[in-house]
Amino acid sequence: MSRKFYISTPIYYPSDKLHIGHTYCTVATDAMARYKRMQGYDVMFLTGTDEHGQKIQQKAEAAGVTPQQYVDNIVSGIHDLWKLMNISHDRFIRTTDDYHVESIKKIFTKLYEQGDIYKGKYTGKYCTPCESFWTESQLVDGKCPDCGREVIDAEEEAYFFRLSKYADRLVEYYEAHPDFLEPPSRLNEMVNNFIKPGLEDLCVSRTTFDWGVPVEFDPGHVVYVWIDALSNYITALGYGNDKYDDFEKYWPADVHFVGKEIVRFHSIIWPAMLMALDLPLPGKVYGHGWLKFGGDKMSKSKGNVVDPVVLVGRYGVDALRYFLLREFPFGSDGNFTNEALISRINSDLANDLGNLLSRTVAMVGKYFGGKLPVERVADPIDDELLTMAKELRGKYEEQMEKYAFQNALIEVFKLISRANKYIDETAPWVLAKDEANKPRLATVLYNLLECLRIGSSLLTPFMPETAEKARAQMGASAEEFGWEAAGVFGKLPLDVAVVKGDALFPRIDMEKELAELAAAQVPAEEPKEEEPPMPKLPDITFDEFCKVEMTVCKVIACENVPKSEKLLKFQLDDGSGEPRQILSGIAKYYKAEDLVGKTLVAVTNLPPRKMMGQMSNGMLLSAEKGDKLNLLMLDDSVPAGSRLC
Ligand code: MSP
């Protein structure tokens, strides 16, 4: 029976286009999943999207579409990106999937019924973009410690998860499982910064927006992001739903790969939730570093994101995959530069690997018509190379098991470089001059092919397409390229036949490329707001259109909503004799006092909605594109209560 290996990426927010930082974690997870499959494991590689929350709701409102339409559009782009990056996930979960929603309702209710969730009141500092409440002591210079933006005072009725109850058990668990969180520095950070100062209970429901999983027994509340998001790792296996039946087989996960800023959620909240659910904990949480650009974490708001699509278009998917995992140690931050990318491609891929393959295949072609004779003559000069080749798989495995992708690749390239040096040492072109040396020449070329076979088969998890091309050129079978064969020298038949192919990686002209790349990428100093394209909405019937009640309203009063940067509160005369209150997120575009007396249009048959604790009965119509917004205003002569038709 095969052993199982369950690995996950975080589920990504589909709020913006994903950049190379997100790609980094997914490529690392993919390499690990492919490596384990190669070893014969039954792998479950899970990724997906984290689609609920206020930020998505606001973005959808701003784009004039429903939150579901908004996320559908972005998620389809994420699927395209993973296809482009050759990501081999086994399952893709969306937190809007019905089965996940069903499980979340059950998990929340179970935790409530057993007393791990209780109702209380939350007062705290709230960061709207991050959807996070913070304690005073967690703020950095009074601002959100994650994104550095302003926080607001907020208070609301909410449900809480009794995180504090699990503090001792968590510490005991870490002590008993010192490898649970890696790299080890991250564990100290968790214990010293979060657990020792005292764990506070966690707010797990919200009432100020409704784009989330409703709390079954209290429908004014939606489940707040972390219970919804973290549970994906078990709901995707069928926990609490009938969609899948893999929970027994794969849980607990072997490793969750996560970026360092969400280590806290994965190493404190998630284990505590699992303890409350009486489920085993994942084997490991690995907190990888950030890919930075110009010294800063990439983020769309800073305008320093690097687009993987541009890079793949120019250099191919494998060059980018290789670069990401070779250039930066996985546990630490790394600074992305175009120069580093191009040098890496030129030195390792074009010069070392590409040249070794093309020279070797060309020599087998030139000296033996493409097929080696079977006679062999060994020489002590071969010993060092052969020992390296025989030991490579063990060294590689040791690094891969530690998630040290960079070191695993360094080991492979040590063999590739040594093989290139071996060509110079053995000078096959000199051997070729004398017919009597042909058996020795064949031995040299065979040794080179074997090094290439072992080295490039171990590159498969990192560069699947390149490894396949190399395999085809050296005439190796799939089995000769497998994990077992990688541990044995001499797997290719003695009379191996090669097939000449194209160069794996053409050399890149650094200067020319840098100039072109600068033009193709978003420059750091000029943030460019990219609006997602407006999705085409589904067609509706005339009858459906007629159901929308659009009423002309006069603004009686208008004011800013306290503690909200976005909302204006309107009292409107809609012709009914009773004032109508509507909240609209347009404070950025209009001053409240300028709107009094204006004639606007509102949709007046929508269900009432609560925003920042206040009711809104309808929606004002406006037109929006990019960073411009205009309220739909009519001539003052149009009476209040008139209908648009
Ligand atoms: N939705 C949450 C995760 C929930 S998991 C139960 C989230 N999403 S995210 O889209 O903001 O980030 C997803 C992952 O991408 C995180 O692990 C984050 O660290 C990673 N990265 C985002 N930018 C990154 C870099 N510039 N570099 C490396 N990883 C980065 O957090």
Q: How confident is the model at residue 525 (pLDDT cuts 50, 70, 90)?
A: very low
Spatial CA neighbour of 99 closest among 219, 235, 224, 228: 235
What pLDDT was estimated at residue 256?
Answer: 98
User: Which of 11, 18, 22, 307 has most ligand 1 atoms within 8 Å of CB, for mutation?
Assistant: 22
Residue 222 predicted with pLDDT over 70: yes
Superfamily for the 340-486 domain: Isoleucyl-tRNA Synthetase; Domain 1 (1.10.730.10)
Atom 25 of ligand 1, nearest CA residue: 21
CA distance 82 to 92: 11
Read off the pLDDT band of 610 (50, 70, 90).
Answer: confident
- pLDDT tens-digit profile of 301-321? 666 678 899 999 999 999 999
Query: Based on the number of CB atoms within 10 Å of its own CB, is 285 exposed (0-12), middle (13-18) or buried (19 or more)?
Result: buried
Please tell me which of 120-124, 530-534, 640-644 the model is most confident about, judged by mean pLDDT. Answer: 640-644
CA max distance for the chain: 109
- Atom from ligand 1 closest to the CA of residue 292: 26
Ligand 1 site-directed mutation target among 12, 52, 230, 332, most atoms within 8 Å of CB: 12
Q: Which atom of ligand 1 is nearest to the CA of 257?
A: 17
Q: pLDDT tens for residues 82-133?
A: 999 999 999 999 999 999 999 999 999 999 999 999 999 888 888 877 666 6
> Torsion angle of alpha carbons 537, 539, 542, 548, nearest 10°?
-20
Segment 633-643 shows an average pLDDT of 93
Q: Is 167 exposed, middle or buried (0-12, 13-18, 19+ CB in 10 A)?
A: middle
Taking CA atoms only, the protein residue closest to ligand 1 atom 8 is: 12
What is the reported pLDDT for 300? Answer: 65
Give me the CATH code for the 542-631 domain, please.
2.40.50.140
Domain boundaries, the chain: 340-486, 542-631
Tokens of 215: 């709390």
The residue-averaged pLDDT of 319-343 equals: 95
Strand locations in 231-290 (E): 255-259, 285-288
- Look at ligand 1, atom 10, and give the residue with the nearest C-alpha: 12
- Ligand 1 midpoint to CA 331 (Å): 14
3-class DSSP state of 588? coil
Buried b (16+ CB within 10 A) or exposed e, 295-334: eebbbbeebbbbbbbebbebbbbbbbbbbbbbbbebbeeb
What residue type is 58 in one-letter code? Answer: Q
Mutate to test the pocket of ligand 1, among 74, 228, 262 (most ligand atoms within 8 A of CB): 262
Percent of the chain with pLDDT over 70: 95
Q: Which of 332-346, 532-546, 578-592, 596-610 has the lowest mean pLDDT?
A: 532-546
Output Rg (C-alpha) for the chain, integer angstroms.
30
pLDDT of residue 527: 31
pLDDT, position 530: 37
Q: Do domains 340-486 and 542-631 have the same CATH topology?
A: no
CB of 32 within 8 A of CB of 313?
Answer: no
Residues near ligand 1 (Cβ within 6 A)? 10-13, 21-22, 24-25, 50, 229-230, 232, 258-259, 261-262, 290-291, 297-298
CB 62 within 8 A of CB 244: no
User: What's the CA-to-centroid distance between 317 and ligand 1, angstroms?
Assistant: 21
Asked whether residue 529 carries a pLDDT value surpassing 60, the answer given is: no
Q: Which ligand 1 atom sits nearest the alpha carbon of residue 226? A: 6
Report CA 482 to chain centroid distance, whole Å.
29
Q: What is the pLDDT of residue 303?
A: 67
- Is the per-residue pLDDT at 461 higher than 80? yes
Q: Kindly tell me if the per-residue pLDDT of 187 is higher than 90.
A: no
- As to burial, measured by CB atoms within 10 angstroms (0-12 exposed, 13-18 middle, 19+ buried), residue 409 is buried
- Given a contact cutoff of 8 angstroms between Cβ atoms, the answer to whether 555 and 596 are in contact is yes
Determine which helix (DSSP H) or strand (DSSP E) holds 444, and give its type and residue range: helix 438-458
Ligand 1 atom 9: the closest Cα is on which residue? Answer: 12
Residue range 535-552: mean pLDDT, rounded = 84
Q: Which helix (H) or strand (E) holds 358?
A: helix 355-368
pTM over 0.85: no
